[in-house]
Amino acid sequence: MPEELKPCPFCGTAPRADMPTNTYCEYAECAICDLEMERGEWNHRASQWISVERKVPDVGQVVLVYRPEADKSHDNFVRMAKYTGVDNYSPQNVKHQFDCWCHPTHWMAIPKLEVDV
């Protein structure tokens, strides 16, 4: 019997695991946060996302940001953004210091690409 899937690391919603399977893998997803990964890795993911409440990037650093309100302005939940250290306001009137429209709640360094040579 498959392991029960943990909630989404961002919103706490139960993931969907009824997506079609193919010959290689089965996926789980959070429909709210647009997060998808192999079902076997969903519970064993190591979160690299950092809350902006806990820590912010260095000024000038370009990072990936997660913006839970982005869909309200027809934008992506996850995107690259620069931390500016200068006050900016989202459409929801939330102060943040990134060069993007919607306010991020979490960020992470851009992962290094591993290339087999």
Tokens standing for residue 54: 């806990």
Q: Tens digits of per-residue pLDDT, 43-68?
A: 776 668 889 999 999 999 999 999 98
- 61 and 92 together in one domain: yes
Of 87, 78, 86, the C-alpha closest to 108 is: 78
- 95 and 55 together in one domain: yes
- 34 and 57 together in one domain: no
Tell me if 40 is assigned to some domain.
yes
Angle of CA points 39, 78, 57, to nearest 5° = 115
The answer on pLDDT for 73 being more than 60 is yes
pLDDT recorded at residue 23: 39
Residue with the larger pLDDT of the pair 28 and 102: 102
For the chain, what is the domain count? 2
- 40 and 54 together in one domain: no
Of 66, 68, 64, 103, the C-alpha closest to 81 is: 64
- 38 and 58 together in one domain: no
Tell me if 114 is assigned to some domain.
no
* Residue range of the domain that includes 17: 1-45
pLDDT recorded at residue 1: 53
pTM over 0.85: no
pLDDT recorded at residue 55: 92
Tell me if 117 is assigned to some domain.
no
Tell me if 116 is assigned to some domain.
no
The answer on pLDDT for 83 being more than 90 is yes
pLDDT recorded at residue 87: 92
